[in-house]
Amino acid sequence: MLVDERSAALKVPTAPSGTAFVRARPRPWTLLVGGSLLLAALTLLFPSAPTYDPWAWIIWGREVAHLDLVTTEGPSWKPLPVMFTTVFSLFGSWSPDLWLVVARAGAIASVVLAYGVARRVGGGVVGGVIAAAALGIAPWWIRNAALGNSEGLIVAFLLGAIDRHLAGDRRFAFLLAVCAGLLRPEAWPFLGLYGLFLLWTRSVSWKLIVGAGVGVLALWLLPEWWGSGDLLRAAHRAKNVNAGAPTYADNPALEVLNDAGDMLTGPLMVGLVAAAAMVMVKRSRPLAWLIAMSIAWLGLVAYMTQDGFSGNQRYLIAPVALLIVLGGAGAGWVVHTVLGWLRGAETRRGVVVALAAVVAGVGFMVPSFQRLDPTFTGLKWQADLADQLPGLVATAGGADALKRCGNPYTGPFLVPLVAWHLNLHTEQVQLAPRTPAVVFRVKTTNFSRGAVPSLRDVGAGRTLATSDKWRIVAACG
């Protein structure tokens, strides 16, 4: 992808098989994975809970383990998360926390990889620090990582694939790209093009490339056929768009691009201009390819939104994270260029570079500081919602007693959470209460004016348990 001459590509060291491939994996990758998992586990000391999509994956993992998968309701299917949650289901109530550790570890690893890729493509140490700092402090990054969304993982696989490709380890790079393809379908065109490039350069066995392509499609489609009877249920679900999505804008594609711009701070925009200048000055082919890739990914999301997909912020995280890395690289290149002009800097170069990296990193973090407080407030609210529910279910008589009373109902974004604690399929928890019913009334967010769902059609009922965020009402009929 980054070298267009076949003869040149053939000279790049690869790890085609066996012992050679094992030796190509440097120890830092083991440290990266292990360290990220350890730090992610420590984050569970703070209030933690998954959000809507991860709760559905956790339920589906339990259902796959019991050979009882039902995907007719809930978010779009994602193969890789359910692979993890199927294994985690063996640990019972620990399953949600185990998934949070994996999702957050992906986000932590992404920050480290952002440093490595920005440094490798010409940003130097300063560029690497800028990229890592700007990505790690972004409120939208922290929020999605904390709630267990899969975007941290896909960015880790994306940056990891780029890093390994630049290092000449094409087989490892391809396997990481395959993992990205198991998280978002937008990665498929890039995975396909990279597979064709590897076939052309004969860098990787064609059997691996074809087998991986077939496997990716099978893991996306066949479980949906099993769980819902519809091979394309995930695509259909993605077009069932919630109110307020960019899809409903007068120009959905333009709205998506505006959202992407809002995710980037002013200093990063300047860094991207510098990256464009670096391409022209240094004639950097890898940097040019990465710029083209990020623009193409944004364009793909914009096109899909124009075609009826939701186009929400999570779809933009992968290309925007890549733009942050490029912006960091561009800014770092400028700083290192200026430092190179300073007389006498060579004698104290290490100290000067370290100081410049710290100052630049803080400078790129500052625009995000003022947006962190609402993010942490919302995360605390979501964690409290999840933490309170098990005790309330027990106080109300337990899951079995509640199910004997009537059908469960709750607010639209808490359906998988309630289904998990009642040991039900997601489709068995509904939104509009009808007698007989057990209604889990909830204040969905910290700025909600009232609780949902309405009790209008079931009456006041009998309150079985209550907290500052929940009220369980029985209308057993």
DSSP assignment of 9-21:
HHTS----SHHHH
> Does 120 map to a domain?
yes
- Residue 52: its pLDDT value, please? 95
**Percentage of residues in the chain having pLDDT higher than 90:** 74
CA distance 329 to 352: 18
Q: Which of 40, 299, 279 is nearest to 156 (CA)?
A: 40
- Residue 344: its pLDDT value, please? 53
> Does 188 map to a domain?
yes
Domain ranges, residue 27: 13-370
Instruction: Write out the two tokens for 114.
Output: 């952002």
> Does 7 map to a domain?
no
Same structural domain for residues 328 and 405?
no
Give the chain's domain count.
Answer: 2
Per-residue pLDDT at 145 exceeds 90: yes
Same structural domain for residues 348 and 394?
no
- Residue 3: its pLDDT value, please? 37
Per-residue pLDDT at 83 exceeds 90: yes
Same structural domain for residues 338 and 402?
no
**Percentage of residues in the chain having pLDDT higher than 70:** 93
SS3 label, residue 433: coil
Mean pLDDT confidence for 1-16: 39
Same structural domain for residues 123 and 225?
yes
- Residue 237: its pLDDT value, please? 75
381 close to 446: Cβ distance less than 8 angstroms: yes
> Does 6 map to a domain?
no
Per-residue pLDDT at 137 exceeds 90: yes
Same structural domain for residues 313 and 455?
no
Q: What is the DSSP letter of 393?
A: H
Q: Which of 113, 151, 145 is nearest to 132 (CA)?
A: 113
Same structural domain for residues 288 and 402?
no
Q: What is the pTM of this model?
A: 0.91
Same structural domain for residues 337 and 385?
no
Per DSSP, helices labelled H in 89-138 are 95-118, 124-137
Same structural domain for residues 351 and 286?
yes
Per-residue pLDDT at 372 exceeds 80: yes
Per-residue pLDDT at 281 exceeds 60: yes
Same structural domain for residues 303 and 429?
no
Same structural domain for residues 350 and 427?
no
Instruction: Write out the two tokens for 246.
Output: 């960019």
> Does 77 map to a domain?
yes
> Does 107 map to a domain?
yes
- Residue 8: its pLDDT value, please? 38
Mean pLDDT confidence for 261-272: 95
- Residue 14: its pLDDT value, please? 45
CA distance 62 to 197: 39
Among the three residues 370, 403, 435, which one is the final residue of a domain in this structure?
A: 370
Q: What is the DSSP letter of 457?
A: T
> Which residue type, as a one-letter code, is found at position 323?
L
Per-residue pLDDT at 172 exceeds 60: yes
CA distance 106 to 131: 16
Q: Which residue has the tokens 């109530």?
A: 93
Among the three residues 331, 353, 370, which one is the final residue of a domain in this structure?
A: 370
List Cβ neighbours of 65 (8 Å cut-off, separation of 6 or more).
86, 89, 90
Per-residue pLDDT at 12 exceeds 50: no
- Residue 11: its pLDDT value, please? 41
- Residue 449: its pLDDT value, please? 77
Report CA-CA distances (Å) from 64 to 52, 56, 80, 82, 455: 19, 12, 13, 8, 34
Same structural domain for residues 197 and 227?
yes
Same structural domain for residues 92 and 54?
yes
- Angle at Cα 402 formed by Cα 399 and Cα 406, nearest 5°? 135
Report CA-CA distances (Å) from 130 to 86, 198, 341: 37, 32, 21
Mean pLDDT confidence for 426-454: 90
> Does 392 map to a domain?
yes
> Which residue type, as a one-letter code, is found at position 424?
L
Please, how many CA atoms are within 13 Å of residue 48, restricted to the half-sphere of its CB?
22
Instruction: Write out the two tokens for 57.
Output: 């994956």
List Cβ neighbours of 434 (8 Å cut-off, separation of 6 or more).
407, 457, 458
**Rounded mean pLDDT of the chain?**
90
Among the three residues 322, 354, 370, which one is the final residue of a domain in this structure?
A: 370
